[in-house]
Every structure is written in C-alpha cells, then in structure tokens.
Amino acid sequence: MGEMKPVLPRRYHRLREVLNRRQTDLTVLLEDVHKPHNFSAIIRTCDAVGVFSAHGVYTEGDVPAFSETAKGSQKWVDIHTHPDLKTAIGHLKNQNHTIYAAHLTENAVDYRQPDYTQPTCILLGAEKWGVSEEAISLVDQAIYIPMFGMVQSLNVSVAAAVILFEAQRQRLAAGQYNQPSFDPETYDRILFQWAYPDLAAMYDEAGKPYPALGEDGQFLIEN
Ligand code: SAM
C-alpha cells in the first residue's frame, strides 16, 4: 500500500488512552441543531466526555459545517445522520439506549435524577424551536436543568455540556472509564483508523484487512 510514515509513539499512546475511555453507550441525538458553532461545541464536549459516536437528524436543512469551535474534535467523534427522528430513535432503542429529551416541560425530571451509567442518549432540540412534539412522543423521559434567571433556556451547547458532564460524573464513580468498551477486534480497527486515517481508507477501498501494529504503533510487516 505504499510508503507510510509511522505515527509517533507518543501520539499512538495518547490515541490509545483516549480510545480506552470512549463510551460506546453514551450518546447525543441532535434534532436540527443547525448553528455551526453550537454543533461544533457539542461535538467538542462529546470528545471531552468520551462519547464515541453522536447522532443527528436534519429535516430543516443541511448538516452544519464544523467551525473553529470544534478544534478538530470532529475527527475523534463518529457522527451519524439519520433521515428522520423515528429512524434515529428506533436505531438507538435497538441498541438498548434510554432516550432522554432535554426539555423544560411539566413532566420532565431534574437532569441529575436518571441513571446515566446505563446505555443513554440525550436528545437536544433546535436553537429556536426546541424539542419537537414528535420527539417528545418518542423519547422515554424528558429532563430539565433548573433555571432561576430571567431567560428561560440555556444555549443548546451549554445544556448538552451540563448533562453530559453529569453522565461523566456518574460513569467515573461507576468505574466505566477504567477499561475499553470495545471488543479487541473493534478496538484494533478503530485504533488503526485513528492512527492512519488515509491508509485505513485505502485498505477499506481495497477491501483488505488492516495490518497489525506493534506496541508503539509501528508497522510489523512491509505493506
Ligand atoms: N425556545 C426553545 C424552547 O422553547 O424549547 C428554546 C430552545 S433551547 C435554546 C435549545 C435546546 O437546549 C432545547 O431544545 C433543549 O434541548 C436544551 N435546553 C436549553 N435549556 C435547557 C434546560 N434548562 N433544560 C433542559 N434542556 C435545555
């Protein structure tokens, strides 16, 4: 597959440290969150908390572009878009996620109440319109962040951060960041993609398995 410069050992070990803490069963579902800086800030928070993949539904327009705010975090969080809300929620429920809509409504519970150590998805609503009625009818529970000010809502990326860091707090206490949540084969595959994204794409295109890597991320055999 041609000459490829090996990844620096320090970077390879850093990638492993981050991948070891990725949570495959903690995610967000963004419902038409369309402003690039909000979308970017949420993905950056997902990276910080250890969310492995994030989901979005864009019925009102295109998936937003990433802005400077993302700081490159989009390379480390898998982003899935779905054609509509029903498909997205069906997909996440099939993976046993409980779906919580961040939404200030009468029967919402305080965001600190749920058990986020279980497979969890946080649905966040559009900047202007909030969470749709359809979403409310499909989710398991609404959650709210108590507000004591004059303004009735938080910026969506701030709300996402508050809730995701509560999930992080609970998962840290439960020891869920202590071991990788992937099977070894998946772990090695993702690590290769993170360390050598261009090469991984070439192997994918050729339909070939990735080569094994050494302790420091070096190639063990000639490609
Ligand atoms: N006018 C919208 C409404 O009535 O819902 C405000 C939308 S708010 C700017 C964008 C999103 O941030 C909301 O849909 C919700 O997901 C989240 N959010 C903001 N403040 C929140 C709070 N205090 N509790 C829970 N979610 C909140």
State pLDDT tens for residues 77-116.
Answer: 999 999 999 999 999 999 999 999 999 999 999 999 999 9
Answer for the pair 98, 5: CB distance below 8 angstroms, yes or no. no
Q: Do 160 and 122 form a contact (C-beta atoms < 8 A)?
A: yes
Q: What is the per-residue pLDDT for 122?
A: 98
What pLDDT was estimated at residue 220?
Answer: 85
pLDDT at 129: 94
The residue whose C-alpha atom lies closest to atom 23 belonging to ligand 1 is 145
Asked if 102 and 111 touch (Cβ cutoff 8 Å), the reply is yes
34 Cα: distance to centroid of ligand 1 (angstroms): 14
Q: Inform me whether the pLDDT recorded for 31 exceeds 60.
A: yes
Distance CA 211, CA 150 (A): 58
Whole-Å CA distances, 79 to 22, 53, 66, 161: 14, 6, 12, 17
Mutate to test the pocket of ligand 1, among 154, 162, 166 (most ligand atoms within 8 A of CB): 154
Whether 176 shows a pLDDT value over 60: the answer reads yes
What is the predicted pLDDT for the residue at 67? 87
Question: Is the pLDDT reported for residue 222 higher than 70?
Answer: no
In this prediction, residues 141-145 reach a mean pLDDT of 98
| CA separation, residue 163 to residues 45, 80, 139 (Å) | 11, 20, 16
Pocket test for ligand 1, best of 156, 157, 164, 166 (most atoms within 8 A of CB): 156
| CATH 3.40.1280.10 residue ranges for the chain | 25-173
**SS3 call for 19:** helix
185 CA from centroid of ligand 1 (Å): 39
Kind and range of the H or E run holding 42:
helix 36-49
Q: Is the confidence at residue 223, as pLDDT, over 80? A: no
Angle between helix axes 197-206 and 184-195 (nearest 10 degrees) is: 120
Q: By alpha-carbon position, which residue is closest to atom 4 of ligand 1?
A: 130
Residue 144: pLDDT over 90: yes
Mean pLDDT for the stretch of residues 141-169: 97
> What topology is assigned to 25-173 in CATH?
Alpha/beta knot (3.40.1280)
Reply yes or no on whether the pLDDT at 60 is more than 90: no
Q: How far is the CA of 70 from the centre of ligand 1 (A)?
A: 21
> 73: pLDDT confidence band, cut at 50, 70 and 90?
very high
Q: What is the mean pLDDT of residues 126-146?
A: 97
Q: What average pLDDT does range 163-178 have in this prediction?
A: 98
Nearest CA to ligand 1 atom 12: 156
Global pTM value = 0.95
Residue nearest atom 16 of ligand 1, based on CA coordinates: 124
The residue behind tokens 């302790």 is 215
pLDDT at 1: 57
- Kindly list the protein residues whose Cβ atom lies closer than 6 A to any atom of ligand 1: 102-104, 124-125, 127, 130-131, 144-145, 147, 153-154, 156, 159
Burial class (CB in 10 A: 0-12, 13-18, 19+), 136: middle
